[in-house]
Structure 1
Amino acid sequence: MRAGKVREKIGKWSGLGILKLLILLFFMIFLILPLVSILLVSFVGEPINLPGSLVDPQIRAATLEKLSNFSLTGYRDLWQDSRYLSALMNSLKLAAGVSLCVTLLCLPMAYAFARTDMPFKKTFAALATVPLVMPTFISSYAFMLMFGQTGWVNHLWRALGGEGVLFEVQSMLGIILVQVFFFFPYALWPMVAAFRAGDSALEEASRNLGAKGWFTFLGVTLPLAGPGILSSMLLVFTISFSDFGTPIIMAPKNLNLIVVEAYREIAGFFNWTGSAILTVVMVGVAALFFWLQRWVIRGKEYGTISGKPTGSGRVKGKGLNRFLSLYTLLVLLVPLLAVGSIFLSSIATTWGHHALPDGYTLKHYTALFSTSSGNILNSLILAMGALLLSVVIAVFVSWFVVRRGSVSLDWLSSIPLVVPGIALGIALIQTFNTPPLRLTGTGILLVIAYTIRRMPYMIRSTMGTMMAIRRDVEEASVSLGASPFMTMVTVVGPLMLPGIIAGGILVFVTVIKETSISILMAPTDWAPMSLAVFQNLLRGEFYTASAMSIVIIVLVILLQNFAGKLTRDQLY
């Protein structure tokens, strides 16, 4: 009897059991511990070395002494400090404005993709992915090339008789426009799905009762898609609130935004208290709206799918289809012109005196590959490191969650979704800035930060594939004598390959584009391309920055196309 219990305990802590413990430790050390640490710093007003407190009695005593000074003074000062309070209010106004504008902008396009025979639909769907391949700080720079004082749009504006500039690009309006035209795909496709889910029979019944087309849309179609639209709005709110790339480039000195203030507090003033409080506030706001978005999806769906056949629900009016096609083209034209502006800048000798460059050259690309090849190599190595770590963790997390119902791993793997990049970076820097785990300023911590930030994409992809694998495949392997761990590696792993490929490429691409983590945490000898572009912009080396931006965009497009082709080959 006792021998049986011993064998049971040994089996529990061997193989997959030990692996689960290691994964839990990874999340606890590099995610939970930094967040708890930054939360405590916000209350005590001093850096705290929690890892050191676990192994060194002197550090533990110093930490306990600091914790004795626990106070809400910092949060009280937040409401009294006009700079911090205005930063929070401005960020909330920005996110609210962007989410509303994106929703209104996407409504006609989403309806067109879902319910009409709009011309060039497949072409527009492909072009709608363009905003997703551009890091936001590159999009911001593109808008400055277009709408800045010497931008080509304003050259055309003055040539047509206008005065000055169309609008001040480095302003709240400029930030809103950049985020609207480069964040709209996050809302577009969920809204398309929401319009497609509605039962067209209800619309036909409304029209049969004499309702006009616009009344049917407002009274039937729109309410049915309402939960999906509201969910998309909340998602865009969270993305806009957490965005670092656009404000750091375009926010004027008199416009305080919380992500920029948090960056300045840690990178410029080494103010741990201020950066910690702003970090906690950012995480709290992002978590609140992420929860609201999930709540809307789970609790407010209006079911209309009954299993009965329904009509296609396609709107056949030629006039409406042409109007929607023109409208979609005009919206997509903005990010396309932004990419074109970056490309022109990358091959320009000089640009600013006229609407077009004064001359053209490829010297910026030759200089780029001769002087910045290290940045390109760094990006590839760091992205590959994050990819490999994400694959190992995500595959086993998916198995534990789907097969063993591990609530703890499911919950831990979802936390990075609500932590803004700048907040995660500040928390990691503060936690691992001192012995015994002094990792700040190393490539190792940078890879770990990338992995934590982007791992949810991999986990969601592999989890979907894991759910499609039948249990009897694993049972057959175990019945033939293979251990559960060996079954995972030799049977389940290969079957999960399509999900691993899709999620892996997504992780690789998003790491290549990562802005906030790179700018805040990357050491000089591991500077990736995104940091090099940012530094070139700060130094005024705009043409070199444009050339490297084009390299990033091309690399991302190639990887995405490769992922799509590879995934199709695996699935069919």
Structure 2
Amino acid sequence: MSSVNQDKQPKKDTKFRGWLRTIDSLKVMKWVVYLFFFLFLVLPLVSVFLVSFTGQPVNLLGSLVNPDIMATNIERLSNASFEHYSLLLGGTYFSALQNSLALAIGVSILVILMCIPLAYAFARTTMPYKKTLAALCTIPLIVPTFISAAGFIIMFGRTGWVNTMYQSLGFDGVLIDAYSMTSIVLIQVFFFFPFALWPMVAAFKIADISLEEASNNMGAKNWSTMVFITFPLAIPGIISAALLIFTVSFSDFGTPIILAPDGLNLIVVEAYREISGFFNWAGASILTIVMVAVAAIFFWLQRYVTKNMDYGTLSGKPKGTKLNDSKIVTRSLLVFTILVLVLPMSAIFSVLLQSFATTWGTGLLPRGFTMDHYATVFTRSGDNILNSILLAGGALIISVIVATLVSYFVVRENTSKLDFMSSIPLIVPGIALGIAYIQTFNTAPLQLTGTAFLLIVAYAVRRMPYMIRSTMGTMMAIKSDIEEAAVNLGASKLVAIITVVGPLMLPGIAAGSILVFVTVIKETSITVLMAPSDWAPMSLMVFQNLLRGEVYTASAMAMLIIVLVIILQTAANKITKNSLY
């Protein structure tokens, strides 16, 4: 009897192995990627959309395992209506939407007006110290906005050193109220302008100068050529940059949550208060849908502009660019660039000084200096530093795996649906994604709300597009015959990707990894909304310390974040060999 069983066992193993060989492992991985995006992107957004009609949580996953939850969901969906959307027609929500739109439009216009001469200076002139100034113009981009808000308070608070100096000159009151719409606008303009500057520099650089030369040969003066030839050629890049600034400003959470006065309603702040303070699912969901819709519209406009406004003039013949070396122009632009940098550099320097200050009252400088605040950070908040690294590392692992597979499927198999799904996080504000996650994963079978795992997934999904764009560019440069050779030698497609394609993608993966790690380290909105207390990262501790008035410790930890981000950003620039000047 035993010998018969032994004879049957090898046959079963052989059949099982044969069945495994028939499975297309690559197709399985594609479905795993689809499942990932469905669970952690599509489903949360659909769920929060349904809640905006029911006014109460609708847990779609819970319906699959719990009949009571299914019955409750059916009842709530049967009572769905547009009643809650009437809140948008008046009152707090409507004013919050109006204020946020006005803020984003105003910031976009101011940034573009400020960046036009800056971009021209970097792209088309021999302005002195371009490399140094270009590096300084990049620093505001890597500073979390709530840290820049802290610097603004040090400068323009009631006892801030700028207002102190202003009053010492004989003026009454304050030069700028730190807690006002003016402050929010200034911070967003002077800390978001790099988002628009470098695309505009590229737009000025790529235009064919033969048109400008023709204009000059026909007798046009330099200023006339600049106004009627140079700037119009850069219009697509300028409009695209304006739409990008609008989206960034509209979804910014760090600045308004710190500086918005009680009477000023902004949509991101209202959404945060509705979910964290009142657990108002209807209000939070409606505001989430509005944020996603507005961001989606402007993201679509940006794509439409770059696709349909074709001002291309480049030919295959390379042409050298003649830089404007007029001393009047270059020196004027040098002064203008320095003036633009004064405010953001002063805010960062103020945070640095406060991190070393014993006390800082109404004087222009602190009364004394100490290292105690940094010692406090490392002794009391060492776990927070470790949490930041572990959370960012977890998000990075997920991003690398998913982004590598997405890049392969999009480039090799032209999977447009996956390309579209992977782009959705670009239009979802962080606070909106956090609200969607909290609502979706608060019951079985995936009761993940309040866990570090869900926070890591949220980080990964939100920053996934950065990794995908980096790896996709590398993937396009890899010829398909390399992996085909591996398959012909007996390797499966999945093994070929891991052992052959993967190593060739390392430069793109490395650059994207640093970018993901940097942006996760300074992430504010998702962190504040979702981070569990035992997994609080550095950004959350800085935010909480600012709200508690522990400004010196907050400044010390803020400087650690800035230094860490600068180091990683420098490494990323060296890897990609990116030169913007």
Q: Same fold (TM over 0.5)?
A: yes
The correspondence for 1:514, drawn from 520, 523, 537, is: 523
The correspondence for 2:42, drawn from 32, 36, 40, is: 32
State the match for 1:70 in structure 2: 80
Deviations 1:254-307 (A, max 9, x none): 000000000000000100000000000000000000100111000112111122
State the match for 2:448 in structure 1: 439
Give the superposition deviation at 1:13: 4.5
Q: Aligned pair 1:211/2:211, yes or no?
A: no
Give the superposition deviation at 1:437: 1.1
Alpha-carbon distance between aligned partners in 2 of 1:521 and 1:280, rounded to the nearest angstrom:
19
Alpha-carbon distance between aligned partners in 2 of 1:465 and 1:330, rounded to the nearest angstrom:
39
State the match for 1:284 in structure 2: 293
* Counterpart mapping for 1:532-551 below 5 A: 532-551=541-560
State the match for 1:52 in structure 2: 62
The correspondence for 1:364, drawn from 365, 368, 373, is: 373
| Cα gap change, 1:13 to 1:242, in 2 (>3 Å) | farther
Asked if 1 retains the 8 angstrom alpha-carbon contact of 2:395 and 2:457, the reply is yes
Asked if 2 retains the 8 angstrom alpha-carbon contact of 1:116 and 1:321, the reply is yes
Give the superposition deviation at 1:479: 1.1
The correspondence for 1:168, drawn from 177, 188, 195, is: 177
Give the AA of the match of 1:24: Y
State the match for 2:202 in structure 1: 193
Structure 2: any 5+ residue segments left out of the alignment? 1-16
Give the AA of the match of 2:189: V
Structure 1: any 5+ residue segments left out of the alignment? 1-6
The correspondence for 1:237, drawn from 229, 240, 246, is: 246
Deviations 1:202-260 (A, max 9, x none): 11222222323222222111111001100000000000000000000010000000000
Partner of 2:357: helix, strand, or coil?
coil
Alpha-carbon distance between aligned partners in 2 of 1:405 and 1:57, rounded to the nearest angstrom:
41
State the match for 1:20 in structure 2: 30
Asked if 1 retains the 8 angstrom alpha-carbon contact of 2:459 and 2:520, the reply is yes
Give the AA of the match of 1:539: R
Q: Aligned pair 1:397/2:406, yes or no?
A: yes
| Cα gap change, 1:195 to 1:473, in 2 (>3 Å) | same
Alpha-carbon distance between aligned partners in 2 of 1:28 and 1:226, rounded to the nearest angstrom:
38
Asked if 1 retains the 8 angstrom alpha-carbon contact of 2:87 and 2:94, the reply is no
State the match for 2:164 in structure 1: 155
The correspondence for 1:267, drawn from 267, 276, 280, is: 276
| Cα gap change, 1:12 to 1:193, in 2 (>3 Å) | farther
State the match for 1:355 in structure 2: 364
Q: Aligned pair 1:223/2:232, yes or no?
A: yes
Alpha-carbon distance between aligned partners in 2 of 1:87 and 1:525, rounded to the nearest angstrom:
33
The correspondence for 1:487, drawn from 487, 496, 500, is: 496
Q: Aligned pair 1:409/2:418, yes or no?
A: yes
Alpha-carbon distance between aligned partners in 1 of 2:480 and 2:497, rounded to the nearest angstrom:
12
Give the AA of the match of 2:397: L
Asked if 1 retains the 8 angstrom alpha-carbon contact of 2:177 and 2:183, the reply is yes
Number of corresponding residues? 562
Give the AA of the match of 1:192: V
State the match for 1:294 in structure 2: 303
Percent sequence identity over aligned pairs: 62
Give the AA of the match of 1:50: L
State the match for 1:3 in structure 2: none
Alpha-carbon distance between aligned partners in 1 of 2:316 and 2:487, rounded to the nearest angstrom:
39
State the match for 1:4 in structure 2: none
| Cα gap change, 1:281 to 1:359, in 2 (>3 Å) | same
| Cα gap change, 1:520 to 1:305, in 2 (>3 Å) | same
* Counterpart mapping for 1:406-485 below 5 A: 406-485=415-494
Deviations 1:462-501 (A, max 9, x none): 0000000011111111111111111101110000000000
Alpha-carbon distance between aligned partners in 1 of 2:258 and 2:304, rounded to the nearest angstrom:
34
Q: TM-score, normalised by structure 1?
A: 0.96
Alpha-carbon distance between aligned partners in 1 of 2:22 and 2:85, rounded to the nearest angstrom:
45
Alpha-carbon distance between aligned partners in 2 of 1:242 and 1:507, rounded to the nearest angstrom:
19
Alpha-carbon distance between aligned partners in 2 of 1:235 and 1:461, rounded to the nearest angstrom:
19
Asked if 2 retains the 8 angstrom alpha-carbon contact of 1:397 and 1:410, the reply is yes
Give the AA of the match of 1:565: K
Give the AA of the match of 1:554: V
Give the AA of the match of 1:371: R
Alpha-carbon distance between aligned partners in 2 of 1:181 and 1:8, rounded to the nearest angstrom:
63
Partner of 1:288: helix, strand, or coil?
helix
Give the AA of the match of 2:218: L
| Cα gap change, 1:309 to 1:19, in 2 (>3 Å) | closer
| Cα gap change, 1:229 to 1:389, in 2 (>3 Å) | same
The correspondence for 1:106, drawn from 115, 122, 125, is: 115
The correspondence for 1:84, drawn from 93, 97, 103, is: 93
Asked if 1 retains the 8 angstrom alpha-carbon contact of 2:374 and 2:556, the reply is yes
Deviations 1:105-152 (A, max 9, x none): 111110011111110011111111111221000011111111121111
Partner of 1:360: helix, strand, or coil?
coil
Deviations 1:46-99 (A, max 9, x none): 11111111222332222111111121111122213x111000000000000000
Give the superposition deviation at 1:527: 0.4
| Cα gap change, 1:139 to 1:476, in 2 (>3 Å) | same
Partner of 1:128: helix, strand, or coil?
helix
Asked if 2 retains the 8 angstrom alpha-carbon contact of 1:201 and 1:311, the reply is no
